[in-house]
Structure formats: C-alpha cells, structure tokens
C-alpha cells in the first residue's frame, strides 16, 4: 500500500474509534453502566458486534477509552488550576451521573486481580495526585494553613472526591456532594462561599 | 413436623449459612475477589454448587452476607466509639486487603442499576453516617474546632476512608492509607500522634 493510503487508513481507524467512544458515552447516558453493552454501542455506529471487537476487544477496554476521553475534555493545565475550580468540577459532576457512575463502577472492578482497567486507574491516580499537589502548592506554598504539605493533602483531596461520589450515587437525596466537598475545602483553609 | 424439629431444622440451616460465610471469607483471603467463585466456596464446605445456591442464590448475595458478618465483627457500640479508634480501624484495615478489596469491588458494582448489593450499601452508609455523627458529637459537641457540625463532617469522614481504600488497593507502595487518614483527623482538630 502506498504511504498516503496507509496514513489515510490510520486516520480513518482513529476517526472510527472516536465515533465509537462518542456512541458509548451516549448509550451510557441513556441506559447506564449495565445497559451499555457492546451490542448496543455497535448498533448505534452501524457495526456488527464482531466489527466493534476489532476496535475494542472488551467492554472494559471501551469503557477505559470513554474515561480517557473524559479526562481529555476535563483537563485543565496545571498552571490554570485553582483550588476553587475544584468545587466547580464537583458541582459539574453532580449534573452528569452517568459518567460518574461509569467511573465509580469501573474503579470498583479495577481493584480485582488482573483487571484490564487496573493500569488506567493506577496511572490516573498517580497523575491526579501530582496535579493536585501542584495546585495546592501554587495556592498555599509548602504548607497549607492547617500545617499539612501539598503532597500529604493531595491524596485526601482525591479520596474525598471519589468517596463522596459513591455516597451520592447510592443516595442522591441524602448526600449533598458539592456542599460536602466545599466543606472539605474550608477545612483546608480555602475561603469558599 | 413437631415444633422441636422445625426449630432444629432452622438452627441447622443458620449454622450452615454461617459455615458458608466463613468459608467464603477464607476463599476470598486466599484467592481474592475474582477467585472467590461459588464453586470454590461450595467445595470447601462439601456442598455441590446447586446445594450452595439453596443458601445463597448468587455470588453477590453471598458477598453481601460476608460484608454483613464483617460489620458485625467490627461493630463498636456508639457509646464506646472514639475518634482516635477510627485511626486504629484504618490501621487494621491496611492489614486485611482481601476483605477491603471485596468491600471496594462490591461497592463499585452496587452503584449500577438494579444491583443486588445496592440496598445493603445504601442502608450501611445511612447507618455509618449516623454513627459517625454521634461519635463526633460526643467528642466535640455541636461544632468541631473547625466550625463544621458533626452532621456535615460525617459524610466527609466516611468518604475519606472509602476513597483512600481505592488509592491504596491500586498502589499500596505509594499510598500510606493509615498515615493519610491520621492527617485527616488532624484537619478535624484531633490531636493524633
């Protein structure tokens, strides 16, 4: 195959993958995590299930691709992050339960032996902790008002966000996720409205 | 059947259930969440898989029974709880990854539609938040040193415990779960060693 054709084939394949990931996000939003079968996603993009498996060999691989795409959309350069923007992010998350449910369910599965999403979550946590450390250092320097270092505060910040999501997904009437997260920011010494 | 025989049958059935739950805990400890199949548990107690299904119709039902049994073992009367005991509980949890993995994996699954463990986790969170509220009120009165009420602090405390478990299960070398939890208690105003 001439070089140009190889490149075109690669571009087409990447476009197709992106289309599948977009369709998966739609199916998740409509039917939830359990309803988002490979068959439903294949149907939406006009592929057979076999055809879809060519791009994503398992449902887990497709879901990881959906979460990676979400990470790209949500990405804020470290230099632009501010602690108060985290409150906005949690507020925003409370309006998109389907993707938060997908994240939380796959995170749960990922802690089991040899799970295909384990590497994604392990690397994501390392990256997010590093990013939050940098945000906290920009805001507070080497010590927060409460005396903790940014390095020691970052895993707490991430734990609060993830832990609250479970309580909220199970019982949205009882758990004010954004309000509880703002309480945590106040504990860190942030002046929050 | 005479009354005594009915009672005996019920006692035998409860003993058998308890034996199965104990065997499940052993299998989880040895083989992890994914290795803990109904077949492996049935074999350990000398039942066929069909025989086991008579007691627990699904793997999820058996795992919920295991977590309920753990709740009973870990239970501390509200009047006996102290905030510093929570640090000991997290320290203890860090030494039993298999049951923490089971809890975390099943919690993840439970947020999906119609999951059989959903009711267990929803009720457990309501109970644990109420219990933590009571512990915090006993320790601090109606306001913590940082100004939050016990009611508003309880979901944060629970979120930190659960959220840290995921980070720790995925990357135990990088995440000091007990140390990070003690940092959180310090944020609340607790004098922790």
Which candidate, A190, A140, A146, A184, places its Cα nearest to that of A162? A184
Residues A83 and A64 in one domain: no
* Confidence at residue B20, expressed as pLDDT on a 0 to 100 scale: 96
A186 and A106 together in one domain = yes
Q: Same structural domain for residues B113 and B189?
A: yes
pLDDT of residue B183: 96
> Mean of the pLDDT values across residues A43-67?
94
**Same domain as B166, residue B132:** yes
Of A84, A189, A121, A156, the closest CA to residue B104 belongs to: A121
Over the stretch B12-57, which tens digit does the pLDDT of each residue have? 888 999 999 999 999 998 998 888 999 999 999 999 999 999 999 9
B32–A166 C-beta distance less than 8 A: no
Query: What is the predicted pLDDT for the residue at B1?
Result: 65
Which of A67-76, A97-106, B112-121 is predicted least confidently? Answer: A67-76
Claim to verify: residue A63 and residue A114 sit in the same structural domain: no
> What is the CB neighbour count within 10 angstroms for residue A40?
17
Interface contacts (A, B; CB < 8 Å): 157
What CA–CA distance (Å, rounded) separates B185 from B191?
8
Residue A82 and residue A173 share a domain:
yes
Are residues B34 and B17 both part of a single domain? yes
A96 and B CB contact within 8 Å: no
Rg (CA), chain B: 19
The answer to whether the CB atoms of A188 and B187 lie below 8 A apart is yes
Residues 53-82 of A with CB under 8 A from B: none
Q: Could you tell me if A97 and A51 lie in one domain?
A: no
Predicted local distance difference test score (pLDDT) of residue B12: 85
Last residue of a domain, one of B35, B70, B105: B70
CATH of residue A64's domain is 1.10.10.60
Positive or negative torsion for Cα A37, A43, A49, A50 = negative
- Total structural domains within chain A: 2
Q: Dihedral of CA A11/A13/A14/A18: which sign?
A: positive
Separation of alpha carbons A90 and A84, rounded Å:
10
pLDDT, residue B127, reads 95
Write down which residue in A26, A43, A75 finishes a domain: A75
* pLDDT tens-digit readout, A145-172: 988 999 999 999 999 999 999 999 999 9
- For A46-175, strand residue ranges (E) read none
Contact A108 B109 (CB under 8 A): yes
Chain B contact present for A166, CB below 8 A: yes
Task: For residues B114-123, give the mean pLDDT.
Answer: 94
**pLDDT (0 to 100) of residue A1:** 66
Q: Is A45 exposed, middle or buried (0-12, 13-18, 19+ CB in 10 A)?
A: middle
What percent of chain A is modeled with pLDDT above 90? 75
Asked if residue A68 and residue A26 are part of one domain, the reply reads yes
Predicted interface score ipTM higher than 0.95:
no
A83-132, pLDDT tens digit by residue?
889 999 999 999 999 999 999 999 999 999 889 999 999 999 999 999 99
Whether the CB of B116 is below 8 Å from some CB of chain A: the reply is no
d(CA A92, CA A97): 10
Domain extent at residue B131: 76-193
Alpha carbon A98 to its chain centroid, in Å, reads: 11
Which percentage of chain B shows pLDDT scores above 90? Answer: 75
Among A113, A148, A180, whose Cβ lies nearest the Cβ of B32?
Answer: A113
Residues 6+ apart with CB under 8 A from A57: none
Q: Is the pLDDT of residue B4 over 90?
A: no
Using alpha carbons, list the distances in angstroms from residue A148 to B91, B159, B165, B172: 20, 19, 20, 21
Residue A193: its pLDDT value, please? 67
Answer yes or no: do A182 and A132 share one domain: yes
Q: Determine, for residues B105 and A114 on separate chains, whether the beta-carbon distance falls below 8 Å.
A: no
Residues B88 and B157 in one domain: yes
pLDDT over 90 at B126, yes or no = yes
Q: Which two tokens stand for residue B90?
A: 């997290």
CA angle A48–A54–A55, rounded 5-degree value: 100
Q: What is the pLDDT of residue B68?
A: 94
Please list every residue in chain B whose beta carbon sits closer than 8 Å to the beta carbon of residue A110: 170
Mean pLDDT of chain A: 92
Of the three residues A48, A75, A102, the one that is the final residue of a domain is A75
Cβ-nearest to B108 among A105, A153, A187 = A105
* pLDDT of res. B7: 74
* Residue in A148, A130, A151 with CA at minimum distance from that of residue A187: A148
In the prediction, which pLDDT does A166 show?
Answer: 98
Question: Confidence band (pLDDT; 50, 70, 90) for B73?
Answer: confident
Handedness of CA A133, A135, A141, A144 (dihedral sign): negative
A125 and A35 both lie in a single domain: no
Average confidence score pLDDT of chain B: 92
Question: What pLDDT is stored for residue A6 in this prediction?
Answer: 75
């Amino acid at each position: 195959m001439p070089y140009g054709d190889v490149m075109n084939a690669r571009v087409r394949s990447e476009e197709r993958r992106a289309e599948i990931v977009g369709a998966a996000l739609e199916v998740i939003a409509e039917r939830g995590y359990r309803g988002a079968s490979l068959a439903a996603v294949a149907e939406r993009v006009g592929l057979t299930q076999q055809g879809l498996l060519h791009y994503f060999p398992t449902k887990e691989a497709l879901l990881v691709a959906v979460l990676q795409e979400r990470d790209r959309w949500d990405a804020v350069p470290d230099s632009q992050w501010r602690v108060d923007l985290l409150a906005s992010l949690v507020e925003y998350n409370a309006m998109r339960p389907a993707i938060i449910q997908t994240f939380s369910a796959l995170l749960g599965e990922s802690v089991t032996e040899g799970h295909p999403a384990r590497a994604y979550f392990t690397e994501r946590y390392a990256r997010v902790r590093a990013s939050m450390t940098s945000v906290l250092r920009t805001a507070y320097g080497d010590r927060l008002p409460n005396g903790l270092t940014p390095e020691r505060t970052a895993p707490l910040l991430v734990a609060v966000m993830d832990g609250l999501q479970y309580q909220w997904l199970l019982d949205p009437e009882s758990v004010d996720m954004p309000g509880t997260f703002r309480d945590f920011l106040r504990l860190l010494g942030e002046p929050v409205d």
